Each structure stands twice: as structure tokens, then as C-alpha cells.
Amino acid sequence: MITFAKVKESILEGLKRTFKVEQFGVKTATESMPFGFDGSPLKDMTAIYSNTSNDAESVIIGYINKNQIAEAGESRIYSLDSDGVLKAFVYCKKDGVIELNGSTNFVVKYNELQTVLNALASSINTENGKIASAIGLLGGSYVPSPITIDISSAKNETIKTN
């Protein structure tokens, strides 16, 4: 039989999470999750509680989500603070956009940015050479220092895109 239960406590023992829930009295249950996802619900969330073929082993198979905004075809992973306030999210939208904690700024492509900045430095160096020549023709002296731009310290090796 599948019933609703209120999560009272989440206990991480070793690599296994056990929950104390209130479902016709206090009980414990392990959790079933999609592969590769590790999350812990807040106290008093409503869990979907089910017995298994072994009466000594019950399982939480999901939760009632009060924070749904994903539309058909979309997926979202998010975290909440202890007051239930959204703190972080990854939102995969149906238009191919991925939002990381917001949608008002943009992630740049490192390789393309480095190429554009190198072209800018080259153009500035060319113009500085012309300025030095003009100053020389007027009897003055100017030795331009070549401009180089290195943004390698800004490269994030752990977030990649196409």
C-alpha cells in the first residue's frame, strides 16, 4: 500500500540515507532516487511512502513538490534553505537554454573570447606603431610597448559548452 507520510528527519549513515517519517505513527524508510541524483528533503515535506514485499523494508519513492515551474519537456534541479527559499538551480528549458542560478547574465565562450581579445590587442598594437611613426616624423620619440591579453586564469575547466 502506498500512503503519504511527513518527513521528520533525514539520517545519512555511511552512504545510505534513512528517514524518520510520520505515517500512522513514526516509522523509518530508505529512499528511492533516480540514478546520479542526491538530495535531502526538508522537514515536514510530504513523502510518498510504500511498503515492500518485505514488511521490515519500507521505501520513500518520491515527494510532493510545491515548487514546480518546469513546463512540458523541461527539467530543473534546485536546492532550498531550511526556510524553503530557493537558493540554487539548474534549469534545462525546452528551447535549449540552460539557466544556472538565474537568467539575467550570460556565460561566455572562452576560446572565442580569447580570439576576439587577441585580435583587439593586435589592432591596438598596429595603431600604436602608426602613432610611433607619426611622432617620429614630427621629431619626437615614442616606443610603443606591445599589448598582450591573457585570460587563461579566467578559464573554468569544469564547466564546458559547445
Each residue of 116-134: pLDDT tens digit? 999 999 999 999 999 999 9
Which residues have CB under 8 Å from 57's CB, separation 6+? 30
Residue 36 in any domain: the answer is yes
Q: Domain containing 56: what range?
A: 2-63
Q: What are the Cα distances from residue 10, in Å, to 41, 71, 80, 99, 144? A: 8, 30, 15, 29, 65
Residue 30 lies in a domain: yes
Q: What is the pLDDT of residue 58?
A: 85
- Residue 35: pLDDT over 90: no
Q: CA 22, CA 41: separation in Å to the nearest integer?
A: 14
- Tell me if 159 is assigned to some domain: no
